[in-house]
Amino acid sequence: MDRSGIELNGVAYRWPARPVVVVVIDGGDPAYFERGVRDGIVPNVARFMKTGFAAVADGDVPSFTCPNNMSIATGSPQSVHGISGNFYLDRDTGEAVVMTGPELIRSRTIMAEFSRHGATVASVTAKDKLRRQLGKDMDLSRGSANFSAECADECGLEETGIEDALALTGMPKPSMYSPELSLFVLEAGIRLLAERQPAILYLSLTDYIQHKYAPGEPEADRYYRNMDEKFGRLHDLGAVVALTADHGMNDKSNADGSPRVIRLQDVLDARFGTGTSTVICPITDRFVVHHGALGGFVRVYCHGSLDPADVIRLVAGLPGVESAYDRATAVRRFDLPADREGDVVVIGRPDTCIGAAEADHDLSGLKGHRLRTHGAVSEASVPFILNYPLRPEYAARAASRRLESHELFDFAINGVALP
């Protein structure tokens, strides 16, 4: 076996001296850890922050799940791996294209690359939509595994590298809308670490709790206490533990609890006429109960003679809009794949979300909860925490500028000083 390490997207990763576990806490806004540390909810994380390394880093904009997971897992920006949301519009067909298929990702993940060099690796996700991209070209022949909690009862050894995920964790199959979905992922990670000692373990959770509960609410505290206990067990098993999030979360509701929404398709249709533009909400997926497909970032595609500059002029004046960019500016500013970007990008302020037409968003799933969601620049700050301190070279890098979450694997594999 060649143990000299790998190179991917311009970064050299050495062969890990001990297992490296990266946990992506979906919706894990830094405010949850801040509050949890203050209130004594997360003693293990508090210890990591004190004796290891902690910073708040930049995630990607749009601050959505798939782009950020792929940036972290490939160690590259969206312009390299190509996944800039759950949806974009195919200009040739006029159809909205789901961006979660493995054929659309333009890079292998760090896990996949290590597996092809003979390492045992594993990735476990809450939702199945991430699984196939994370596992693209992964070699499962040497004990590597790639499965989701969502499909924990239908793992096939050939496709996922695991015979029975329910037996592995000793837990029943969790509901899609529960904190147990994430705890299942973490428990699977602990068991895989103990049984297979993978070189790299990637664990991606779900933001069910963060969409519903603010930092300090009892349900959020319970979830963070349960997660913290599992982070402690990962540490006790000897792993380098790296914690981050795909995005943060903000309350985007009015004082009376109703969602504060700009229904952008309706606004554009009223001004420019029906059929002259298409608003795509790239947060949309099959699981929209807790946010009604409303986020802080949308793409506008102009048809016929509609000029993007006119759209920008109109949109930039709407209350609740933070910024509106033409494609070239957005691509440059957020390092996006140009061929998958709209003609105009619209980003909301922290307290406002942006939707398409009123009819496109079913908010009945909120059931009286305030709308908490993400997607904007204001939700792109994420934790960047390691359970060991940095070597001098990496400490200097961290001191010189704000880190980006896609550097986390580099820091966890190459940057920590092990005892």
Interface residue list for Zn ion (CB under 5 A): 26, 65, 207, 246
Element (H, E) at 72: helix 65-74
Question: What are the φ and ψ backbone dihedral angles of 44, each rounded to 5 degrees?
Answer: -70, -45
CB nearer Zn ion, residue 260 or residue 374: 374
Strand partners, 147: 124
Q: How far is the CB of 413 from Zn ion (least distance, A)?
A: 24
Least Å distance, CB 365 to Zn ion, is 16
Which of residues 15 and 177 has its CB atom nearest to Zn ion in the complex?
A: 177
Contact (CB, 8 A) for 245 and 288: no
Q: Using CB atoms within 10 A of its CB, is residue 313 exposed (0-12), middle (13-18) or buried (19+)?
A: exposed
* Residue closest to Zn ion, measured at CB: 65
Minimum CB–partner distance for residue 24 and Zn ion (Å): 8
Q: Is 174 or 198 the residue whose CB approaches Zn ion more closely?
A: 174
The minimum distance between CB 71 and Zn ion, in angstroms, equals: 12
Q: Is the dihedral of CA 269, 272, 276, 277 positive or negative?
A: negative
State which residue, 324 or 376, has the beta carbon closest to Zn ion.
Answer: 376
> Alpha-carbon distance 279 to 282, whole Å?
9
CA separation for the pair 167, 109 (Å, rounded): 27
Q: Which CB sits closer to Zn ion, 58 or 246?
A: 246
DSSP state of 253: B
What's the closest the beta carbon of residue 122 comes to Zn ion, in angstroms? 20
First to last CA, the chain: 26
Question: Nearest approach, Cβ of 207 to Zn ion (angstroms)?
Answer: 5
Please, which residue, 26 or 343, has the CB nearer to Zn ion?
26
CB of 65 to Zn ion, least distance (A): 3
CA–CA gap between residue 235 and residue 387 (Å, rounded): 8
In angstroms, rounded to a whole number, what is the distance separating the alpha carbons of residues 53 and 356?
41
CB of 211 to Zn ion, least distance (A): 9
How far is 121 from 115, CA to CA, in rounded Å? 6
**Continuous segment of H or E residues that includes residue 70:** helix 65-74
Both tokens of residue 74? 């490939």
The nearest distance, CB 63 to Zn ion, in angstroms, is 8
What is the spatial distance between Cα 138 and Cα 122, in angstroms, rounded to a whole number? Answer: 9
| Token output for 350 | 């922290």
- Quick one: 65 or 182, whose CB is closer to Zn ion? 65
Pairing of strands 200-204, 121-125: parallel
Token couple for 208? 């069910």
Classify residue 295 as left (phi > 0), alpha (psi -120 to 50) or beta.
beta
Smaller CB separation from Zn ion, 21 or 25: 25
Nearer Cβ to Zn ion (128/269): 128
Q: How far is the CB of 210 from Zn ion (least distance, A)?
A: 8
SS (H, E, C) 298-337: EEEEECCCCCHHHHHHHHHCCCCEEEEEEHHHHHHHHCCC
Cβ nearer to Zn ion, comparing 120 with 244? 244
